[in-house]
Amino acid sequence: MKLIPWSDRKLPFGKGVDEWPFLLERLRGTPVRSSHLLKGIPIECIVLQQQGRWSAMGHLAHMLLLDQRFQARIDDFEQRRPALCRISLEEQEERIKLASNRQPGDLLEEHRITRLDLVKRLAAMDEAVLHHRASHPCMGSAMSPVDMALWIAEHDDHHLLSMRMALGERFND
């Protein structure tokens, strides 16, 4: 079985606000899952890049960078802007390289703190904001905060699986 590339995934946007608490719970769990995945793994394996692909540490750094960037999108929803801001990943490769020089525990802790802050802001949204839809700059369609939370949760799963594979584990084990 082959892993579907992230860019080929089709997500079921348009879910109702009744999905909101479940999505927030998934988002809260990602740092714990990341930590569990890397527990007891030698650092040489965590930072090892194979065939030009990101290391497990690179995937973690990518998720952290996006969590930081999603703060601006939360602002967009809270202000009920008609369009969401673009997320720049311009310095992503440099940040991933720098992450390889850090201790995994430090990066995991930064991701935990950043993610919990993101979830706290999402959880504080009132129902009117949850129903607001704004044009996504890349998708060409409107997105709600519920859709954004689904995107993040699915993106997390994609990168957690990619981390597992970077560590040499098969995804169907």
> Mean pLDDT of all residues in the chain?
93
Whether residue 172 is predicted with pLDDT greater than 50 in this model: the reply is: no
Residue ranges per domain, the chain? 15-166
The predicted structure's pLDDT at residue 1 = 61
The predicted structure's pLDDT at residue 74 = 98
User: Measured between alpha carbons, how far is 134 from 141 in angstroms, rounded to an integer?
Assistant: 8
The predicted structure's pLDDT at residue 173 = 45
The predicted-structure confidence for 26-77, as pLDDT tens digits, reads as follows: 999 999 999 999 999 999 999 999 888 999 999 999 999 999 999 999 999 9
Residue 86: C-alpha distances to residues 69, 73, 96, 131, 135 (Å): 9, 9, 20, 21, 11
- The packing angle between helices 145-166 and 56-78, to 10°, is 180
**pTM for this model (two decimals):** 0.92
Cα 115–37–57 angle (5° rounding)?
70
Helix, strand or coil, per DSSP, at residue 135: strand
Whether residue 170 is predicted with pLDDT greater than 60 in this model: the reply is: no
The predicted-structure confidence for 116-150, as pLDDT tens digits, reads as follows: 999 999 999 999 999 999 999 988 889 999 999 99
Range 15-166 has CATH code 1.20.1090.10: no
Q: Which of 159, 48, 153, 54 is CA-nearest to residue 96?
A: 54
The predicted structure's pLDDT at residue 89 = 86
